[in-house]
Amino acid sequence: MTSEIVENQVQDTAQLIAQTVRDFAARQIRPFVRDWDESQHFPLETMRQLGELGLLGVLVPEEYGGSGLGYREYVGAIVELAKVDGAIGLSMAAHNSLCTNHILTFGNPGQKNKYLPKLATGEWIGAWGLTEPNTGSDAGNMKTVAVRDGDDWVLNGSKNFITHGKSGHVAVVIARTGAPNTAHNATAFVVERDTAGFSGGKKEDKLGMRASETAEMLFQDCRIPDSQRLGEVGDGFVQSLKILDGGRISIAALSLGIAMGAYEHALKYAQERQQFGQPIARFQAIAFKLADLATTIEAAKLLTYQAADLKDAGKPVTKESAMAKLYASEVAVKTADEAVQIFGGYGYIKDFPVEKFYRDAKLCTIGEGTSEIQRVVISRLLLP
Ligand SMILES: Cc1cc2nc3c(=O)[nH]c(=O)nc-3n(C[C@H](O)[C@H](O)[C@H](O)COP(=O)(O)OP(=O)(O)OC[C@H]3O[C@@H](n4cnc5c(N)ncnc54)[C@H](O)[C@@H]3O)c2cc1C
């Protein structure tokens, strides 16, 4: 097959998946967005339906029950979800690119056989714990420890701000196994929900992304067998950085979807809302805002798909995924801000959709590395 035919097939598959997600979101998510947001309901049943559609194992090969697709299709699916509800997009992103992808990338065949089919089908929801109360950006300095005891490891400590920290059936947990402030001092483990000594803690009451559960994970003398270790002792932090390279593409996609959703509402409203006897879109001040938003969204799209394509080609993507995440997340915040402005007073009211985009967008400049940390990552690669 020529590369052109392969590329066309990839485009067709990506479009088909995007259409499927669009239809699903219109039927199964849009009617409930406001309720879930207000009550902070994490819709486990909707996650299961995403699993049935193959959206919880997008990158997982078919032999493990996944969809066996690439980042281009994955990005398209998250964009479509996030146009309707960023919170569901965030949950899909965390499940796929953090927990599931960590096991896929660094698990041994036994671990992959045990966990990937359950995660890819949505039978189990996954969590990924790196962040701790005192170590977010400085994650390499984590306090949660895993101590070797015969054939087991004993975990003590806590992780916070973890997506699906309470409801996740299984978590990849990164814990310190070496001396503080030394290189290669962390190791990754898979911990199942019903393991003694592992519990969910406080569920956070958030500004946005409220239907995506964010909670603490607590470990108190939590004993797990060495067979639950992912990869080599000491490789946990380096593994996490590699996982975040892919994860940031999903946050770029999430940002892009939020920006597109907010923009589409603003574009429509600007043509409907009449002031001074004409649609507000006729005022140059509003038309130019729309022009600027459309232009920056297009640039965010190009950066995001560039990172996705590099990842699919197996090329290094650290700089490009950080650039895509940095830029797209800031475009999402700016777009949602301007969408509220275009809606005027109605933008500030919960009966209209844009105030939620405004609240949801802000997470994108924080999760999986803040904008400041993306600039650290990018500048380090520019200035070796
Ligand atoms: C809704 C939500 C979901 C999340 N899901 C997960 C998850 O599933 N798993 C997980 O492990 N984590 C998760 N997180 C945690 C998230 O990744 C962290 O919040 C993020 O990395 C920032 O860490 P912090 O909150 O401790 O902020 P801090 O690191 O304390 O940063 C505070 C401020 O200081 C700045 N700063 C810090 N260091 C530097 C520096 N070197 N240079 C310049 N500025 C700096 C930051 O940019 C920021 O502006 C989630 C967070 C949220 C809010």
pLDDT tens-place string over residues 253-282: 999 999 999 999 999 999 999 999 999 999
Q: Provide the CATH number for the domain around residue 377.
A: 1.20.140.10
Q: What is the pLDDT of residues 70-112, one digit of tens each?
A: 999 999 999 999 999 999 999 999 999 999 999 999 999 999 9
Whether residue 221 is found in the same domain as residue 147: yes
Hey, whose CA ends up nearest to atom 16 of ligand 1? Answer: 367
Whether residue 181 is found in the same domain as residue 303: no
Of 100, 125, 150, which residue is a domain's last? 125
Taking residues 20-49, report their average pLDDT: 98
Sequence-ordered alpha helix ranges (H) in 273-348: 284-312, 318-343
Whether residue 209 is found in the same domain as residue 255: no
> How far is ligand 1, taken at its centre, from the CA of residue 38, in Å?
24
pLDDT value at position 325?
98
Q: Tell me how crowded residue 300 is: count the other CB atoms within 10 A of its CB.
A: 26
pLDDT value at position 273?
98
> How far is ligand 1, taken at its centre, from the CA of residue 364, in Å?
11
Cβ within 8 Å of residue 130, ≥6 positions away: 139, 142, 159, 174, 240
Pocket test for ligand 1, best of 161, 248, 365 (most atoms within 8 A of CB): 161
Pocket test for ligand 1, best of 131, 330, 379 (most atoms within 8 A of CB): 131
Assess whether 368 carries a catalytic annotation: yes
> How far is ligand 1, taken at its centre, from the CA of residue 309, in Å?
27
Taking residues 278-289, report their average pLDDT: 98
Q: Provide the CATH number for the domain around residue 135.
A: 2.40.110.10
Of 125, 145, 171, which residue is a domain's last? 125
Whether residue 110 is found in the same domain as residue 137: no
Atom of ligand 1 nearest to the CA of 98: 8
Whether residue 30 is found in the same domain as residue 93: yes
Whether residue 98 is found in the same domain as residue 139: no
Taking residues 332-359, report their average pLDDT: 98
| CB 233, CB 189: distance < 8 Å | no
- Report residues whose beta carbon is within 6 angstroms of any ligand 1 atom: 94, 98, 128-131, 136-137, 161-163, 206, 209, 214, 363, 366-370, 372-373, 376
| CB 188, CB 239: distance < 8 Å | yes
Pocket test for ligand 1, best of 97, 101, 137 (most atoms within 8 A of CB): 137
Q: pLDDT at residue 6 above 80?
A: no
Sequence-ordered alpha helix ranges (H) in 2-70: 3-24, 33-39, 44-52
SS3 257: helix
pLDDT value at position 13?
87
170-176/126-129 β-pairing: parallel
Backbone angles phi, psi at 383, to 5 degrees: -125, 70
pLDDT value at position 12?
84
SS3 58: coil
| CB 230, CB 186: distance < 8 Å | no
- Residue 186's domain comprises 127-236
- Residue 346 pLDDT level (bands cut at 50, 70, 90): very high
Whether residue 166 is found in the same domain as residue 255: no
Whether residue 147 is found in the same domain as residue 189: yes
Hey, whose CA ends up nearest to atom 40 of ligand 1? Answer: 373
- Residue 5 pLDDT level (bands cut at 50, 70, 90): low
Q: pLDDT at residue 11 above 80?
A: no
Taking residues 140-156, report their average pLDDT: 97
> How far is ligand 1, taken at its centre, from the CA of residue 331, in Å?
19
Of 98, 125, 152, which residue is a domain's last? 125
Whether residue 366 is found in the same domain as residue 246: yes
Give 86-103 as a 3 state SS string.
HHHHHHHHHHHHHHHHHH
Amino acid found at 181: N
Both tokens assigned to 28: 């199964």
pLDDT value at position 181?
84
> How far is ligand 1, taken at its centre, from the CA of residue 248, in Å?
13
CA 188 to chain centre: 19
Whether residue 231 is found in the same domain as residue 359: no
Whether residue 119 is found in the same domain as residue 153: no
Whether residue 147 is found in the same domain as residue 243: no
- Residue 142 pLDDT level (bands cut at 50, 70, 90): very high
Task: Please tell me the total count of domains within the chain.
Answer: 3
- Residue 3 pLDDT level (bands cut at 50, 70, 90): low
pLDDT > 70: what percent of the chain? 97
Taking residues 8-31, report their average pLDDT: 91
Taking residues 63-76, report their average pLDDT: 97
Closest by alpha carbon to 175, among 185, 161, 162?
A: 185
